[in-house]
Amino acid sequence: MTDIRAALGDYLIVRRALGHKLAGAEYLLGQFLAFLDQRGAARVTTDLAVAWATLPAGASAAYRAQRLSAVRCFASWLQTMDPSTEVPPAGILTARPARAVPYPYTDGEVAALMAAARSLRYPMRRYTYQALTGLLATTGMRIGEAIRLDRGDVCFDAGLVRVVGSKFGKSREVPLHPSAVEALRRYAERRDELCTGPKADSFFLSATGTRLVYRSVLSVFQRLLRHAGIGPRSEQCRPRIHDLRHGFASRTLADWHRAGADVQALLPLLSTYLGHVDPKSTYWYYSDSRVIPILAPLRVWRACGLG
């Protein structure tokens, strides 16, 4: 098993060098190798892979397929060095792709989320989640990108934020609406007043002066949704923090459409702004862009006293 564990380390290094994060895959494959240890197995076989993938009782078909997919990718790479490795055939465990139905936040709902942040217990947390929600809604940044921002990445004079080493290793500069610049400037002033000795160089700080953690942000966002009275529109359409990004992209496309612009020609610009590798990743937003009202950035910031 030592050789397989060493191979896993090399596999992760190579794929991450190509821009893949693989945090989930590393966790799953670590569990799989522990499973092989328990079985006394020295190589990957299809039977063992399927047995491990279907191990969790009550797991959804999608999750089981995800587990097997992680093994298949690793096994395909491992087989080039060890021909005795078996690669589980595609289609053994299938699950219909379940892309979430986007929840199109209205400008009133975004403002309600930012206002709900005032109910949070600690002043730093209140200001942080007001500013963070506003930034996500008016720029379409990924939540991971926003919480990784350092202080030097927010350039007030230039009116932009620098996103460094994001998904697939891409970096970019994201221009800001003037209302967003002013709101973030005010947040920074309040942040520095509340926390004179931060524990991280992060632009957005937690109540304890540390960088925000993704899981904690998701948990707080669910609280904000409940406080704002925002719930599912259907079983398939449930509000998520990622839908702030979807809403920005859809509204931008709708704005161009209503203005009579050549959307096809402008799509690569939006792809670059959002940090997509290929414009095809951006095009699917267009399917519902005509029914989402335009978000006025200045109105949203002002509604919460941040602009």
Q: Which residues have a catalytic role annotated?
A: 142, 167, 242, 245, 276, 285
Are 295 and 248 spatial neighbours (Cβ–Cβ below 8 Å)? yes
Look up residue 185 and give its amino acid: R
- In order of 2, 18, 50, 220, the CA distances from 22 in angstroms are 21, 11, 21, 25
Q: Give the residues across from 205 on adjacent strands.
A: 211
For tokens 């406080």, the residue is 227
Are 46 and 18 spatial neighbours (Cβ–Cβ below 8 Å)? no
Dist. CA 238–CA 32, nearest whole Å:
32
Dist. CA 15–CA 85, nearest whole Å:
19
Are 141 and 191 spatial neighbours (Cβ–Cβ below 8 Å)? no
b/e 90-122 (16+ beta carbons within 10 angstroms → b):
eeebeeeeeeeebbbbebebbbbbbbbbeebee
Sequence-ordered list of residues with C-beta below 8 angstroms from that of 302, at least 6 positions apart, any chain: 179
Residue 69: alpha-carbon gap to chain centroid: 21
Rounded to 5, what percent of the chain is helix, strand, coil?
60, 5, 35
Distance separating the N- and C-terminal Cα atoms of the chain? 58
User: Collapsing DSSP states into helix, strand and coil, what is residue 61?
Assistant: helix
